[in-house]
A and B are shown apart, each in its own frame.
Chain A
């Protein structure tokens, strides 16, 4: 399809529909309102169902229901709304139900602001809800990449029966860019024999139970063993990472999402100043590209790393775990939606070099 001029939120919604999503349940909050707005227009046109729930809690439980019945289903929100959904996300993870959750991060904590932020890294990557579970987390850095990732997000959710989070920010949601969508009017969805799609009393089909309650210790242990085995496969197969000018670099920038785009500009500024710098950009935040990060830092040329975030320093912890002390890793960034400039980042590296 030829390029269209689309707002990030609209493009994500359309890409979800092209990936076979026919159900959307949500509740308004800025800066992601354009997703439910677009879904409310488009889903009825493709025989789907849009419903504005009475709250975020209701919305995520509708997602649980539709996902449990085998449908491709999505919800979206922004930071405070995602907090409200956490109990439901934990339930969905425990019940092994696939779904896609979009978080257009805004500033926090509390109500924060309506500007872009990366303050929800811990929440998305380390849990958010209670219990031992994981969500696959994709962190796109442009509208086009978000659109390209949507079919993958739904496939990953279905393949592993796991909630998948698209962790973007207000910039990606509100920006308007030329974007190319991959139109797919008749998406073929995988078989879901486990889904609650009706019971056959003749016994040709087992009764499907969608549930996250395992009272007996051995039963819960069974779930945990099953989930852990699945998480290991995901860690093995689903890692996505971009390395930009990292080969032979002296300084390694680490960033995800929109900030990574700023870092690329910083890399170019540094190269113009005769400094070899590169960028490691995790595209999946979980599974985290631990091996790829370590390999980049193991190069003899590397002196130090710098993680840049629009937060008070969250991903830097995972970068340091991956680097495991073989090189120093500094952090640069601010909470409160302040986006560092490419010049500031380059200056920081130049200062590290002088020290």
Chain B
């Protein structure tokens, strides 16, 4: 039976980055498919990183025309193929906010047949993004996303970051917000995500200040594949 991972969250919270990293990691131990389900944004799509996904052995399902730099984003019929029986893992990288999560709703009949322990629905949280900066807005977003995606979130991911200027204090901010959101919703914190350097600094801080491991979850180290620094923009464009 396949493991299904659905990554949801506010626009710009880091879903694609985490999806890419998790898929590449999962491909090391079995078949792995990444579904680019973003119908919101013609820029910064996981599909753009086929160059790293294919060599890593990740099968990529992307919307037709996704890389044609046009604005008509439709969903591929191939998406249904991931619900056939088999082994390995499937990752869904979903568009931002509840607007992006709408694309998931149509797959409800398929998702409801997946046993609970095989379906992981992660809500990615970055308090440095103004649209998810406090408990009220994060709570409103998670509620709306659950409504339209017709899925229940099973875990919160602390992805506190300020792109190239990230340090452990941003994860501390993310910890506080993840904890508050977890207490309010009853949804556990699945993990804390960042580059290894930032995770190490955060771990040291957490131990020193006695942060509750329940609200840290597992550490998910990532390599920055999506976010573009100014230099990358110049070489790759939008």
Of the candidates A4, A14, A116, A339, which one forms a contact with B128 in the assembled complex, judged by CB atoms under 8 Å apart?
A4
CA gap between A30 and B40 in the complex, in Å: 11
The answer to whether B50 has its CB under 8 Å from any CB of chain A is no
The answer to whether A51 has its CB under 8 Å from any CB of chain B is no
Task: State whether B238 touches A116 (Cβ < 8 A).
Answer: yes
Task: State whether A339 touches B133 (Cβ < 8 A).
Answer: no
Task: State whether B237 touches A116 (Cβ < 8 A).
Answer: yes
The answer to whether A5 has its CB under 8 Å from any CB of chain B is yes
Task: State whether A4 touches B129 (Cβ < 8 A).
Answer: yes
Task: State whether B130 touches A10 (Cβ < 8 A).
Answer: yes
Task: State whether A178 touches B163 (Cβ < 8 A).
Answer: yes
Task: State whether A5 touches B228 (Cβ < 8 A).
Answer: no
The answer to whether A212 has its CB under 8 Å from any CB of chain B is no
Contacts of A262 in B (CB 8 A): 234
CA gap between A10 and B43 in the complex, in Å: 15
Q: How many Å from the CB of B43 to the closest CB on chain A?
A: 5
Segment of A132-140, A150-158, A168-176 in the binding face: A168-176
CA gap between A7 and B13 in the complex, in Å: 11
Q: How large is the interface on A (under 10, 10 to 19, 20 to 34, 35 or more residues)?
A: 20 to 34
Give the A-B pair count, Cβ closer than 8 A.
63
Q: How many Å from the CB of B44 to the closest CB on chain A?
A: 8
Of the candidates A10, A30, A337, which one forms a contact with B237 in the assembled complex, judged by CB atoms under 8 Å apart?
A337
Q: How many Å from the CB of B119 to the closest CB on chain A?
A: 29
Main secondary structure of the interface of A (DSSP, over half): mixed
Contacts of A247 in B (CB 8 A): none
The answer to whether B71 has its CB under 8 Å from any CB of chain A is yes
* Contact pattern, A 176-200, Cβ under 8 Å of B = 1, otherwise 0: 1110000000000000000000000
A1-50 contacts to B, CB under 8 A, are 3-7, 10, 14, 30-31, 41
We find that the number of chain B residues with CB closer than 8 angstroms to chain A is 26
Contacts of B80 in A (CB 8 A): none
Task: State whether B165 touches A3 (Cβ < 8 A).
Answer: yes
Task: State whether B235 touches A341 (Cβ < 8 A).
Answer: yes
Task: State whether A339 touches B130 (Cβ < 8 A).
Answer: no
The answer to whether B221 has its CB under 8 Å from any CB of chain A is no
Contacts of A6 in B (CB 8 A): 129-130
The answer to whether B227 has its CB under 8 Å from any CB of chain A is yes
CA gap between A6 and B131 in the complex, in Å: 9
Task: State whether A174 touches B237 (Cβ < 8 A).
Answer: no
The answer to whether A261 has its CB under 8 Å from any CB of chain B is yes
CA gap between A339 and B230 in the complex, in Å: 12
The answer to whether B162 has its CB under 8 Å from any CB of chain A is yes
CA gap between A99 and B33 in the complex, in Å: 49
The answer to whether A53 has its CB under 8 Å from any CB of chain B is no
Q: How many Å from the CB of A295 to the closest CB on chain B?
A: 29
Task: State whether B234 touches A339 (Cβ < 8 A).
Answer: yes
Contacts of B178 in A (CB 8 A): none
A106-143 contacts to B, CB under 8 A, are 113-116
Q: How many Å from the CB of B72 to the closest CB on chain A?
A: 11
CA gap between A341 and B131 in the complex, in Å: 34
Task: State whether B238 touches A176 (Cβ < 8 A).
Answer: no
With both beta carbons as reference points, the residue of chain A lying nearest to B128 in the complex is identified as A5
Q: Interface centre among A30, A41, A175, A176, by most B CB within 10 Å?
A: A175
CA gap between A170 and B130 in the complex, in Å: 21
The answer to whether A62 has its CB under 8 Å from any CB of chain B is no
Contacts of A178 in B (CB 8 A): 128, 162-165
Contacts of A280 in B (CB 8 A): none
Contacts of A171 in B (CB 8 A): 233, 238
The answer to whether A89 has its CB under 8 Å from any CB of chain B is no
The answer to whether A342 has its CB under 8 Å from any CB of chain B is yes
Contacts of B71 in A (CB 8 A): 30, 114
CA gap between A126 and B133 in the complex, in Å: 42
Q: How many Å from the CB of A233 to the closest CB on chain B?
A: 36
Q: How many Å from the CB of B125 to the closest CB on chain A?
A: 13
Task: State whether A261 touches B130 (Cβ < 8 A).
Answer: no
CA gap between A175 and B128 in the complex, in Å: 16
With both beta carbons as reference points, the residue of chain A lying nearest to B43 in the complex is identified as A174
B48-79 contacts to A, CB under 8 A, are 69-71
Known: A4-B129, A5-B129. A113 touches B162 (CB 8 A): no
Interface residues of A (CB under 8 A from B): 3-7, 10, 14, 30-31, 41, 113-116, 170-171, 174-178, 261-262, 337, 339, 341-342
Known A31-B43, A114-B71, A178-B164; 10 more pairs at CB < 8 Å: A10-B131, A114-B69, A115-B237, A171-B238, A174-B43, A174-B44, A174-B238, A178-B128, A178-B165, A341-B235
29 contacts between A and B (CB under 8 A): A3-B165, A4-B129, A5-B126, A5-B128, A6-B129, A10-B130, A10-B131, A30-B71, A31-B43, A31-B238, A41-B131, A114-B69, A114-B70, A115-B69, A170-B238, A174-B43, A174-B44, A174-B238, A175-B228, A175-B233, A176-B163, A177-B163, A178-B164, A178-B165, A262-B234, A337-B237, A339-B237, A341-B235, A342-B234
Counting from the closest, the 4 A-B pairs by CB-CB distance are A5-B128, A178-B162, A178-B165, A4-B130
